Amino acid sequence: MSDIKEKLHALCVAYVKGRMQAAEQAIAEAQQAANNDTKSSAGDKYETGREMAQQETNRNLAQLNEANKLMVALNQVSFNGASATVDTGSLVTTNNGDFYIAISAGNLLLDGKNYFAVSPASPIGLKLKGKTGGQEFNLNGKSYSISSVF
């Protein structure tokens, strides 16, 4: 089971790195567009183009910052060992899917099986926290039964 958690952790790291690379590439492209924008006789057009490129850069910098925060959170997740109660780093099996409590990375496919990477601060993460195998809870009108926690 520890092997599965290690692989899920690696998939989460790859997810975050992909987001970081996409943001960095978009920043570079926006910067290049701003640098290539030449001043024409229509000065407003030049200024508008540069402002739009700056806004795009700012949006992508914010996305890069969020991805960096995810990486910091992910680096604090311990995927070794087991706990009887759900906490960050736990792998939880329920009647409605398997959940890896780390960051919100969505659906992860590992060895042909779907896992959901969720943040401990997400609604389902909050419901799961502190629960043990055999316990149940409801979320959005759906009943969940925890069969195991690792």
| Residue in this structure with the two tokens 């690379």, named with its chain if needed | 21
Of residues 57 and 38, more confidently modeled:
57
* Mean of pLDDT over the chain: 90
β-strand pairing of 136-139 with 91-94:
unpaired
pLDDT at residue 41, as a whole number: 46
To which H or E segment does residue 108 belong? strand 106-110
pLDDT at res. 49? 74
The one-letter amino acid at 104: S
Q: How many CA atoms lie within 13 A of 36 on its CB side?
A: 6
Quick check: 59 and 67 in contact, CB under 8 A? no
Judge if 16 and 67 occupy the same domain: yes
> Domain check: are 102 and 71 in the same one?
no
**Do residues 52 and 18 share a domain?**
yes
On whether residue 37 sits in a domain, the answer given is yes
Domain span at 109 = 91-149
More confident residue, 41 or 122: 122
What is the torsional sign of CA 60, 65, 70, 71?
positive
- Please tell me whether residues 70 and 113 are part of one structural domain: no
How many independent structural domains does the chain possess? 2
- Rounded Cα distance, 30 and 35, in Å: 9
